[in-house]
């Protein structure tokens, strides 16, 4: 596996709040866990081989209930109730970062990413990738639009999804100690420790 991308030093040292697109991290996620021949391939992310995921580093600290938020996943198209100009402005910002509006945006805390170990970093990226889902029909089959493109959606964590991260990184990496069945098998990729939150679901991400 190629060395994981590092956030730029100017971002870590700067006082100004910034969000910096990182095509390196996007490429790394593909070669590390998404692609068929990825070094740590996880078939749970197979649908994302068709997805355009924009990654951002940020030096903006975030927290919830006193715990640090280190990552967040969302749909690329700005969501929520917005006026017409506010929505167009938000989309213009996203296009400025990525050239187009990606299917998903994953934001990573640059300070955390600069300091954490490789296993924690992988667990965090995979946690956020688990939020990037494809809609399913009532029979559980993946849904596509009339152009044959997947219909993307945000996914919460059901037990099954958490088992995936726990299986790969151990309960320590995710803070989901009650999922002992997966944890008892031992992590496939060891060495991660817990403690920080995902901003999308509010759960421990790494
Ligand atoms: Zn989450």
| Cα(38) to centroid(ligand 1), Å | 22
Å from CA of 34 to ligand 1 middle: 18
How large is the average pLDDT for residues 108-135? Answer: 92
Q: Find the 99 Cα to ligand 1 centroid distance in Å.
A: 26
Give the other-Cβ count within 10 Å of 116's Cβ. 20
Kindly report, residue by residue over 125-138, the tens digit of the pLDDT.
999 999 999 999 99
Residues within 5 A (CB) of ion ligand 1:
198, 200-201
- What is the CA(204)–ligand 1 centre distance, in A? 7
CB atoms within 10 A of CB 78: 18
Both tokens of residue 142? 């993946």
Average pLDDT of the chain to the nearest whole number: 86
pTM equals 0.84
Distance (angstroms) between ligand 1 centre and the Cα of 72 equals 7
The domain locations on the chain are 9-198
pLDDT of 193 over the 60 cut: no
Q: What is the pLDDT of residue 165?
A: 75
Ligand 1 centroid distance, CA of 155 (Å)? 9
Distance of CA 198 from the midpoint of ligand 1 (Å): 4
Which residue, 107, 124, 110, is CA-closest to 53? 107
Whose CA is closest to 183, among 171, 168, 175? 171
Section 3-14 average pLDDT: 92
Residue 177 has pLDDT above 50, yes or no: no
Among 52-56, 156-160, 169-173, 195-199, the range of highest mean pLDDT: 52-56
């Amino acid at each position: 596996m190629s060395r994981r991308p590092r956030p730029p030093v100017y971002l870590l040292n700067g006082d100004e709040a910034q969000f910096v697109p990182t095509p390196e991290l996007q490429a790394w996620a593909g070669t590390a866990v998404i692609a068929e021949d990825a070094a740590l391939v996880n078939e749970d992310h197979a649908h994302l081989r068709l997805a355009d995921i924009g990654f951002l580093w940020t030096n903006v600290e975030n927290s919830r209930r006193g715990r640090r938020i280190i990552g967040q996943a969302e749909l690329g198209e700005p969501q929520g109730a917005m006026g017409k100009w506010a929505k167009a402005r938000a989309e213009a910002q996203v296009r400025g970062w990525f050239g187009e509006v990606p299917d998903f945006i994953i934001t990573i805390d640059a300070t955390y990413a600069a300091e954490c170990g490789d296993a924690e970093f992988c667990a965090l990226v995979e946690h956020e990738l688990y939020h990037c889902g494809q809609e399913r029909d009532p029979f559980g089959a993946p849904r596509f639009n009339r152009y044959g493109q997947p219909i993307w959606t945000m996914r919460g964590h059901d037990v099954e999804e958490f088992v995936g991260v726990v299986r790969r990184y151990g309960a320590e990496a995710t803070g989901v100690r009650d999922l002992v069945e997966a944890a008892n098998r031992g992590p496939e990729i060891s060495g991660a420790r817990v403690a920080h939150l995902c901003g999308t679901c509010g759960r421990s991400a790494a």
